[in-house]
Amino acid sequence: MRKRTVLRLAAGTVAAGAATLAYASLVERNLFTLRRFDVPMLGADAEPLRILHLSDLHMMPEQRRKQRWVASLAATDPDLVVVTGDNMADPDAVPGTLRALQPLLDFPGAFVFGSNDYRGPVWKNPLSYLLPEREYVQGVELPYEDLRDVLTGAGWADLNNARTTVKAGGRTIELVGVDDPHVERDDYPAVAGRVSPAADLALGLTHSPEPRILDQMAADGFELLLAGHTHGGQVCLPFFGALVTNCELPRSMAKGLHRWPDSTAWLHVSAGLGTHPTAPIRFACPPEATLLTLIPH
């Protein structure tokens, strides 16, 4: 009798695991969600300003559902679109990425790249993300210059180790960004400096939300910091949250809106819209884009 009970428990455990994996790989990773946050950071009489934040599309050529969903976000009528990298996951992904982004190019925009804009992914053991130290291996070169040309040709600001101002929502917005710190392409000292008093708003962009970068941006007076990279943990546990962030950011900040410690800056980390193509699962962390509405504080 005891042996039969053990076998039933084992069979139940295997079945539950299989069902969870099927849900994570076939259902949740396609449950595209639009998050909405109000960010109280404007002056008392200021009109609200809407920022659409996209990150980590990790686009594959055949992902038409994702492409249609991202394109539909033009209906949110943002004042500014911000993309924080890892747009592609295949050398042939530029057309699909542009099908997704094309309707959004009619709005003012800005972007930084992530490591998976420059080089494609390679297979890796998902458990390696739990290791404190691991070798980072990149694959084939991706056509990132083709993507850059289209985005800048539409008037979007390329903020890979760059700084500029844009007009959006009737405001002058100062922007600073770095290339991906996760692969040490960042050079914040080249663009550092206090925010201009002439700016109505100041935003900082980075793909990987490394505290060493966020600290410097906040110290320079950038009021809203935008990042991706973490996938929100991608696989989370109920009541526990993200297992890892794949960077130095604390797990408690793996996604969502937070006050950046020891500053007046806000940080928004997007859980992103894609997955590593060799680990196409999400659990307790659906893919997302975010509409941030800046309001008076």
- Is residue 14 situated within a structural domain? no
**Is the full-model pTM beyond 0.75?**
yes
Supply the CATH number for residue 182's domain.
3.60.21.10
- Is residue 243 situated within a structural domain? yes
User: Using 50, 70 and 90 to split pLDDT, how confident is the model at 124?
Assistant: low
- Please say whether the beta carbons of 260 and 218 come within 8 A: yes
Per-residue pLDDT reduced to its tens digit, 47-68: 999 999 999 999 999 999 999 9
- Is residue 262 situated within a structural domain? yes
Residue 9 has pLDDT above 50, yes or no: no
- Is residue 16 situated within a structural domain? no
- Is residue 230 situated within a structural domain? yes
DSSP state of 119: B
Per-residue pLDDT reduced to its tens digit, 254-292: 999 999 999 999 999 999 999 988 889 999 999 999 999
Phi, psi of 202 (to 5 degrees): -140, 120
Domain carrying residue 123: 31-296
- Please say whether the beta carbons of 64 and 93 come within 8 A: no
**How many folded domains does the chain comprise?**
1
d(Cα 288, Cα 284) in Å, to the nearest integer?
12
